[in-house]
């Protein structure tokens, strides 16, 4: 029985088959052992191929398959038919559809992606002895930086299987956030900060330098408001009325720690300015409630005339920029607390217009105490307490006909014949101020 030489190459075997089909050679009995006719499955050496390569590979497999299966061997005997059947019934056939499916489904792609990413900033803490203990203050706001990151992404069947960073370009650098953390127990106890208004708890000496009690600047009265500039150990640098120096922390408080101190300071400030030579062409510093309080409940004011006129004195001060307590003290002195006949019968608390020779007859009569107070306030502003040409009220300017200075003594020169008038008026005004 003729047999194919299984050691022949595929091309030689193919040629012999062709010769048989074309009649150039007689058919031979095929006896090919099963193990020698084994068509292994196709393996893709590199799975990372593009779609064109996949298609070409598939076409090659199809052509090869068709070429092999189109070369049927015609047998002339039963033995040859059996051999051919065994050959054609190879236990390892090439599954074309499986190969096509596997190659189509194993599509691998790559793409380059550039993304903007954030660069986190760092936070740094710095101790600050000018901040209350444990209080934090941001002195530099942190800022996020940005970079452009370029990545090659590999996908298999649309599923991301790999990423490789190929470049990172920083566009903006992050800015470190700086936070100061307070260490001052003194400021913490006062619930205060540098730059706040604080107050003295008693009369205290201001020094040019700390720890040097010989180099003094001034005495600061109790309750006076001061502004704190810095603090260290037992001393604080403060400023008051244009002066700057050091005072001991033990004599300083705040309105948070001592709520009533702010009102005490306001009153103290007013009282400091009270003296015989004070200018009366400016407001007293009192509120309407202050006027009512200091002009009420006086034993001498038996008919409550002065008490009932408290708001009128305040209103005249607001309109004519004349010290309302000075105006009230004039009325109290001239009318003996509203008990004089001129005050009662003519509503004239000031004896305005009267002459010594005919005090009652020559004095003005007003329709009300309010009108009389308003009139005298206007006269003082226009003729007595302001220099000529000074702007006063409603666009008018002072005439200054009787101006001799903006003090009580200056008014005394032309307003009253009694040379001691200013002292008596001031004494009343001082006692009213003290009732604050």
Number of domains present in the structure of the chain: 4
pLDDT in tens, 124-178: 999 999 999 999 999 999 999 999 999 999 999 989 999 999 999 999 999 999 9
Q: Would you list the DSSP string of 268-291?
A: HHHHHT-STT--SSS--S--HHHH
* Among the ranges given (60-69, 256-265, 378-387, 423-432), the one the predictor scored with the smallest mean pLDDT: 60-69
- On whether both 96 and 210 belong to a single domain, the answer is no
In a domain, 234, yes or no: yes
Cα–Cα distance for residue pair 232/210, rounded to 1 Å: 9
pLDDT in tens, 68-85: 544 444 445 666 555 555
Cα–Cα distance for residue pair 57/59, rounded to 1 Å: 5
Q: Give the per-residue pLDDT at 171.
A: 95
Q: Give the per-residue pLDDT at 97.
A: 56
Q: Give the per-residue pLDDT at 15.
A: 65
pLDDT above 70 (res 282): yes
- On whether both 254 and 361 belong to a single domain, the answer is no
Tokens representing residue 27 in the block? 């058919």
Which letter, b or e, does each residue of 150-187 get, where b requires 16 or more Cβ atoms within 10 Å of its Cβ? eeeeeeeeeeeeeeeeeeeeeeeebeebbbbebbbebb
Give the chain's mean pLDDT.
Answer: 85
Mean pLDDT, residues 279-285 taken together: 96
Among 267, 299, 316, where does a domain finish?
267
Query: Across 19-23, 94-98, 324-328, which has the greatest mean pLDDT?
Result: 324-328
The CATH number of residue 133's host domain is: 2.20.230.10
Distances (CA, A) of 308 to 69, 167, 311, 314, 406: 130, 88, 8, 12, 28
Phi-psi region of 357 (alpha: psi -120 to 50; beta: other; left: phi over 0): alpha
Q: Would you list the DSSP string of 387-422?
A: -TT-B-STT-B---TT-S-SSHHHHHHHH-S-TTHH
pLDDT above 60 (res 101): no
Among 212, 243, 267, where does a domain finish?
267
Among 267, 293, 321, where does a domain finish?
267
Q: Is 300 helix (H, G, I), strand (E, B) or coil?
A: coil
């Amino acid at each position: 029985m003729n047999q194919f030489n299984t050691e022949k190459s595929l091309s030689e075997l193919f040629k012999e088959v062709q010769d048989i089909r074309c009649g150039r050679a007689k058919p031979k009995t095929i006896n090919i052992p099963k193990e020698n006719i084994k068509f292994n499955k196709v393996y893709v050496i590199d799975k990372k191929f593009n779609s064109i390569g996949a298609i070409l590979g598939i076409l090659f497999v199809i052509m090869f398959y068709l070429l092999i299966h189109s070369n049927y061997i015609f047998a002339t005997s039963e033995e040859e038919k059996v051999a051919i059947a065994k050959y054609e019934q190879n236990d390892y056939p090439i599954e074309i559809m499986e190969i096509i499916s596997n190659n189509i489904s194993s599509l691998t792609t790559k793409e380059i992606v550039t993304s903007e990413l954030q660069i986190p900033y760092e936070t740094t803490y710095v101790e600050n002895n000018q901040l209350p203990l444990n209080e934090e203050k941001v002195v530099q706001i942190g800022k996020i930086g940005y970079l452009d990151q370029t990545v090659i992404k590999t996908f298999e069947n649309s599923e991301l299987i790999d990423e490789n960073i190929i470049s990172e370009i920083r566009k903006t650098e992050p800015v470190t956030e700086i936070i100061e953390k307070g260490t001052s127990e003194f400021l913490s106890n006062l619930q205060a900060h540098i730059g706040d208004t604080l107050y003295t708890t008693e009369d205290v000496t201001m020094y040019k330098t700390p720890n040097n009690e010989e180099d003094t600047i001034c005495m600061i009265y109790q309750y006076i408001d001061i502004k704190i500039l810095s603090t260290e150990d037992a001393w604080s640098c403060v400023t008051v009325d244009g002066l700057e120096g050091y005072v001991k922390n033990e004599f300083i408080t705040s309105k948070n720690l001592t709520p009533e101190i702010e009102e005490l300071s306001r009153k103290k400030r007013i009282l400091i300015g009270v003296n015989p030579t004070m200018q009366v062409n400016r407001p007293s510093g009192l509120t309407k409630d202050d006027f009512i309080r200091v002009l009420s409940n006086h034993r001498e004011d038996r008919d409550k005339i002065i008490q009932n006129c408290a708001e009128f004195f305040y209103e005249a001060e607001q309109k004519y920029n004349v010290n309302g307590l000075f105006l009230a003290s004039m009325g109290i002195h001239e009318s003996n607390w509203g008990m004089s006949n001129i005050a009662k019968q003519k509503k004239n608390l000031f004896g305005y217009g009267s002459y010594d020779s005919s005090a009652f007859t020559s004095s003005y009569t007003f329709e009300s105490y309010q009108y009389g107070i308003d009139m005298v306030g206007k006269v003082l502003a226009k003729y007595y307490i302001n220099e000529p040409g000074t702007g006063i009220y409603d666009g008018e300017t002072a005439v200054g006909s009787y101006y001799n200075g903006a003090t009580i003594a200056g008014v005394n020169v032309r307003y009253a014949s009694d040379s001691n008038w200013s002292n008596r008026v001031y004494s009343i005004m001082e006692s009213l101020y003290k009732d604050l």
